């Protein structure tokens, strides 16, 4: 496969997954802001959202304060923000258009229709109809495009690069959304175990479609350590770090390539760390520190994927 084709497939999947995960992060932040407004200083959750996304400098240069309306517009509909849902859906569509001959017609039609619907959305319409409804629409369109890919594509390198982009982006965002809750939204130990704490963790679980899974696995009350274990170490939880890296590791082995040994080695080391990790050890050393180190390694893997498969002169 041409490196340019692989590049478009990979970033098409990453962009669609990014749109979904941005919607998930905004939705959980919105729900938490409603639940905790009596406990926190104004705009605290929204400031956290911008910080974790790494876009605080761009935001502060253009918006006076991190209000709910400002942050949601910036992260969802702002055409000048390259990481917004608007631009993520645009990038997914443009990458799909570049490889129309490689993907199925059903995939192209779904991505193109998503973009056409996105273009018709007006900010006032999002507010009037409910922001959660808009976020649900983004998630549903992502699920649709992923389901069509899974149901119509040959299990060749086209499929593998799409899945690779999906799982790299998903691992990054699961780590970020977990860090939002633990590192920034709960700075005071006195709040742990209270009613607000319970609802925050419940909102977090719902944001990654894991509330029912948590109840099935652990049954009793929601605790931070068990939530972290579910989203980090459980291989049977689809959005966990373990499940994502396990899939990335397998896909890199299947794609192979003469230049991929270092990439496979680093991914294998990260996979082994997750496979044999302990939630008690993670908490003992600091959850935020663990997630920060994980995000650095995911960035490193993404950069190495680019230099190994997409920027190479070998095709």
pLDDT single digits (tens) 232-286: 999 999 999 999 999 999 999 999 988 899 999 999 999 999 999 999 999 999 8
Q: Which of 106, 96, 138, 146 is nearest to 121 (CA)?
A: 138
Q: How confident is the model at residue 187 (pLDDT cuts 50, 70, 90)?
A: very low
Whether residue 93 lies inside any domain: the answer is: yes
In a domain, residue 315? The reply is: no
**In which band, very low, low, confident or very high, does the pLDDT at 130 lie, cut at 50, 70 and 90?**
confident
Q: What is the 3-state secondary structure (H, E, C) of the chain?
A: CCHHHHHHHHHHHHHHHHHHHHHHHHHHHHHHHHHCCCCCCCCHHHHHHHHHHCCHHHHHHHCCCCCHHHHHHHHHCCCCCCCCHHHHHHHHHHHHHHCCCCCCHHHHHHHHHHHHHHHHCCHHHHHHHCHHHHHHHHHHHHHHHHHHHHHHCCCCHHHHHHHHHHHHHHHHHHHHHHHHHHHHCCCCHHHCCCHHHHHHHHHHHHHCCCHHHHHHHHCCCCCHHHHHHHHHCCCCCCCCHHHHHHHHHHHHHHHCCCCCHHHHHHHHHHHHHHHCCCHHHHHHHCHHHHHHHHHHHHHHHHHHHHHHHHCCCCC
Residue 301 in domain: yes
Q: Is residue 241 part of a domain?
A: yes
Confidence check: pLDDT of 12 > 80: yes
Whether residue 152 lies inside any domain: the answer is yes
- Residue 314 — pLDDT band, cuts 50, 70, 90? very low
Residue 233 in domain = yes
pLDDT of residue 196: 57
Per-residue confidence band for 171, with pLDDT thresholds at 50, 70 and 90: very high
Domain of 52 in residue numbering reads as 3-310
How high is the pLDDT of residue 35? 64
Q: Report pLDDT for 132.
A: 84
Q: Report, as an integer, the average pLDDT of 38-45.
A: 60
Domain-embedded: residue 10:
yes
Mean pLDDT of 32-42: 59
pLDDT at 70 over 60: yes
What total number of domains does the chain contain?
1
Domain presence at residue 193? yes
pLDDT tens readout for residues 98-109: 999 999 999 999
The most confident of 105-114, 197-206, 219-228, by mean pLDDT = 105-114
pLDDT of 168 over the 70 cut: yes
């Amino acid at each position: 496969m041409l490196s340019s084709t692989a590049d478009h497939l990979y970033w098409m999947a990453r962009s669609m997954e990014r749109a979904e995960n941005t919607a998930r992060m905004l939705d959980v932040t919105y729900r938490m802001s409603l639940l905790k407004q009596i406990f926190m200083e104004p705009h605290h959750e929204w400031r956290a959202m911008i910080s974790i996304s790494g876009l605080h400098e761009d935001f502060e240069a253009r918006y006076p304060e991190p209000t709910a309306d400002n942050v949601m517009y910036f992260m969802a509909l702002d055409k000048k923000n390259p990481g917004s849902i608007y631009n993520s859906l645009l990038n997914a569509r443009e990458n799909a258009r570049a490889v129309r001959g490689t993907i199925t017609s059903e995939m192209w039609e779904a991505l193109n229709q998503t973009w056409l619907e996105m273009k018709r959305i007006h900010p006032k319409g999002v507010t009037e109809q409910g922001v959660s409804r808009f976020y649900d629409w983004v998630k549903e369109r992502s699920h649709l495009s992923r389901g069509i890919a899974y149901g119509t594509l040959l299990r060749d390198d086209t499929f593998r690069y799409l899945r690779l982009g999906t799982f790299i982006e998903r691992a990054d965002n699961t780590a970020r959304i977990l860090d939002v809750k633990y590192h920034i939204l709960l700075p005071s130990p006195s709040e742990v175990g209270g009613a607000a704490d319970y609802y925050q963790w419940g909102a977090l679980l719902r944001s990654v479609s894991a509330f029912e899974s948590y109840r099935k696995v652990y049954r009793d009350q929601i605790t931070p350590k068990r939530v972290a274990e579910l989203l980090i170490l459980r291989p049977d939880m689809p959005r966990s770090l373990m499940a994502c890296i396990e899939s990335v590791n397998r896909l890199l082995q299947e794609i192979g390539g003469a230049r991929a040994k270092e990439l496979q080695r680093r991914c294998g080391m990260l996979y082994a760390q997750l496979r044999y990790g302990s939630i008690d050890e993670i908490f003992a050393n600091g959850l935020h520190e663990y997630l920060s180190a994980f995000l650095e390694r995911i960035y490193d893997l993404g950069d190495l994927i680019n230099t190994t498969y997409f920027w190479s002169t070998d095709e």
